Structure 1
Amino acid sequence: MEVTAELGDITLVEVDAIVNAANSSLVGGGGVDGAIHRAAGPRLLDACRELRASTLPHGLPVGDAVATPGFHLPARWVIHTVGPNRHAGETDPELLASCFRRSLDVASDVHARSVAFPAVSAGVYGWSADDVARIAVATVRAWSAATHDGAGVNRVRFVLFNESLLSAFRREVGPD
């Protein structure tokens, strides 16, 4: 599996699926979540509300993931995952790893071959860029190895919105 890190706007990336650092309510928010909802258009919120009315009446649990169409995004799919919030006492690295692993499981289920991730839980959820990068890259590589080189997902792009996140991810991804 090809794993890269780049500076950019995840809402503009041409991949099969982008991952949304969502909140458990799935109804949009700030940061990456708000940007994805704005770029995808109002039908994304409708799709999320439908999930809440049907299969996720209590919201999406931390560490889990679910897909919706991408609507107005270049990506066909949005995979929503809820990262752990260190400020709320969610400090187990396995919860963070689960976000990346479950997102890849869902990507595989919808037959996505390329996936773009943000730095889930970095920033407002209190996880350091270095910790998120280390856990994310290791989890993606372990998932790829465990699923016989990606089970269809053959490219992961970490699309970061600032230089400090990019630096942390580039250290973990290694040389191009």
Structure 2
Amino acid sequence: MANPIRQKEIDERVGKFADKFWGAFQMTENGRVKSTILLYSFCLCWVLLAVYGGCFALLNPWLDGLLSGSALPVWLISLVEALAPAAAGTAAASLVWLLPGDKRLLPAGYLWLTLLMLACLIGLIMLMGWENAGLVLQFFGMFVLAPLALGLSSSLLAYYLYWKKSPVPKIRHGLGKGSENL
């Protein structure tokens, strides 16, 4: 049997965390969003989804027609049909990096997209059952894993290089009254 006091403490912690998380999406007194990075990156993840969907919809029929008559193994054809649209989508999505503003936006958008795709994977496996999990995982690996791996890794690498190159702000001492004692 579970300890009711312990369960109450856990429920309170989860409730506080949920309130704090959803509070980031609420407005402040002056009508602004508390966390713009959360809101903008969530919207960006839907744009990323559309970009990758468009790349797969445009490139896969062309690649399939080009590679279907070749003597290449099926696994190599599948790999090319997964990686080529994913690379094109990642290149198109990387244009967001050129926009002015917060450079954390693109990696955060990919993190949202990863969370959404994991929720979709879990939902698909639950709906289709464990018997068809292999088919779901094959679809997930071909159309979801390649874009997420390429996009998330490239955006995190770009942000890391940007972060390493950005100058560290200098702390100036002695600017106020009483700074003689520092």
Structure number with higher helix proportion: 2
- Per chain length, whose mean CA-contact separation is higher, i.e. which structure has more relative contact order (CA < 8 Å, sep 6+)? 1
Larger Rg: 2
Structure number with higher strand proportion: 1
